[in-house]
Amino acid sequence: MPRPSGPPQTIAIVTDAWHPQVNGVVRTLATTCDILRGWGHEVRVISPADYLSVPAPTYPEIRLAITTPGAVGRALGRMRAEAVHIATEGPLGFAARRYCLGRRVPFTTAYHTQFPDYFARRTGLSPRWFWSYISWFHRPAQRVMVATESIRRQLRENGLTRLAAWSRGVDLACFSPAAPCPPEYAGLEGPIQLYVGRIAVEKNIEVFLDSGYPGTKVVVGDGPARAQLERRYPDALFMGKRSGTELAGFYAHTDVFVFPSRTDTFGLVMIEALACGTPVAAFPAPGPLDILNDEVGAMDETLDDAIAAALTRDRAACAQYGATYSWEAATRQFLQALEALEEEETAQLAASLA
């Protein structure tokens, strides 16, 4: 796909989610950065790797940066950015937001993660307590980028109206039905049912592992709940982290991909599975409702029924549908949603070095 018209920009992205974390947010940001650079843009990332950090409670692989708005502001000033995007609502995002508001520098944000639902699951408190922070955080943004229509409606209901579409994509050179079969699948009882993603309480994996549908359940990924779930479900196969062609092989040679989460804003793993020709079973929740149709998946409040229905879907139709999700098209949306800084606004950022 040719590079979009218009001059290259210097784009600053502030994110609390970055390598070595392995999740959909990091994959989305990293892929977007790679494509933008390939199109000639200069992309500079401010991440926890640039600061002292501490592990997040219950999520030790996630680092929380220890810094100040002034330090983040000086980093932005050195970048001479022509657009500032704040990707996450964590400490770095908070610092960048405060600095930009203080200097009257416009910025965009994105709503990647259903934090109100995540924290409600972990604390027992109502999601409304956490929606107050989400609404407050994003309200000053020139635009809030969202992946699906369901999330767009949810944000509108919480008072956020300056919204822009930013979808997701698949690396079709990697994720396809031709991916090699993993040796671990040899001799497994079918149908093979696969989950891929973080192993954490908010992902609702226990419902999948408790389902009574016959066959073999396979879990690919890692996270704070893995050890506990391995003990509780000895018949399930926990494969740990996989990536690239190896991960694609798990997708491609699975009979059905099961997506039990009710709290994801998109569900990148679903379109990766579809691109590999594997149908998806899910609950009728945001993410699946926006992505799946009756030709490539099944949704039901009873997960066993969704699995049974998904197994009847045509795998060629799944692969064809998954191939419609392009990272290039998604990155074009990101570029269109950015807020270009005026000359005086760029100067205000640069003044932080004085």
CATH number at residue 303: 3.40.50.2000
pTM to 2 decimal places: 0.89
pLDDT tens-digit map of 91-148: 999 999 999 999 999 999 999 987 767 666 666 767 678 889 999 999 999 999 999 9
Give the residue-averaged pLDDT of 67-76. 93
Instruction: Look up residue 73 and give its two tokens.
Output: 């502001």
Among 16-20, 31-35, 297-301, which stretch is predicted with the lowest mean pLDDT?
16-20
- CA dist list (Å): 29 to 86, 228, 292, 340: 11, 30, 23, 19
Residue 254 lies in a domain: yes
Residue 190 lies in a domain: yes
Q: How confident is the model at residue 18 (pLDDT cuts 50, 70, 90)?
A: very high
Asked whether residue 13 carries a pLDDT value surpassing 90, the answer given is yes
Residue 175 lies in a domain: no
Count of beta carbons in the 10 Å neighbourhood of residue 171: 14
Asked whether residue 1 carries a pLDDT value surpassing 60, the answer given is no
| Res 354: pLDDT | 60
Statement to judge: residues 18 and 138 lie in one domain: yes
Q: Tell me which residue of 338, 330, 333 sits closest to 28, measured CA to CA.
A: 330
Asked whether residue 158 carries a pLDDT value surpassing 80, the answer given is yes
Residue 247 lies in a domain: yes
Residue 3 lies in a domain: no
- What burial class does residue 352 get, using C-beta atoms within 10 Å of its C-beta: 0-12 exposed, 13-18 middle, 19+ buried? buried
Statement to judge: residues 112 and 30 lie in one domain: yes
Counting the structural domains of the chain, the total is 2
Alpha carbon distance 43, 321 (integer Å): 31
Asked whether residue 320 carries a pLDDT value surpassing 70, the answer given is yes
Statement to judge: residues 34 and 159 lie in one domain: yes
Residue 202 lies in a domain: yes
Q: Quick one: which H or E segment has residue 216?
A: strand 216-220
Statement to judge: residues 341 and 320 lie in one domain: no
Statement to judge: residues 212 and 321 lie in one domain: yes
Among 5-9, 97-101, 250-254, which stretch is predicted with the lowest mean pLDDT?
5-9
Statement to judge: residues 200 and 307 lie in one domain: yes
Statement to judge: residues 147 and 202 lie in one domain: no
Instruction: Look up residue 220 and give its two tokens.
Output: 């690919």
Statement to judge: residues 127 and 271 lie in one domain: no
Query: What backbone phi and psi angles, to 5 degrees, belong to 217?
Result: -100, 130
Among 3-7, 159-163, 248-252, 283-287, which stretch is predicted with the lowest mean pLDDT?
3-7
Q: How many Cα neighbours within 13 Å face the side chain of 59?
A: 18
Statement to judge: residues 148 and 209 lie in one domain: no
Statement to judge: residues 246 and 188 lie in one domain: yes
Statement to judge: residues 98 and 39 lie in one domain: yes
Statement to judge: residues 187 and 125 lie in one domain: no
Task: Give the residue numbers spanning the domain of 113.
Answer: 10-169+328-353
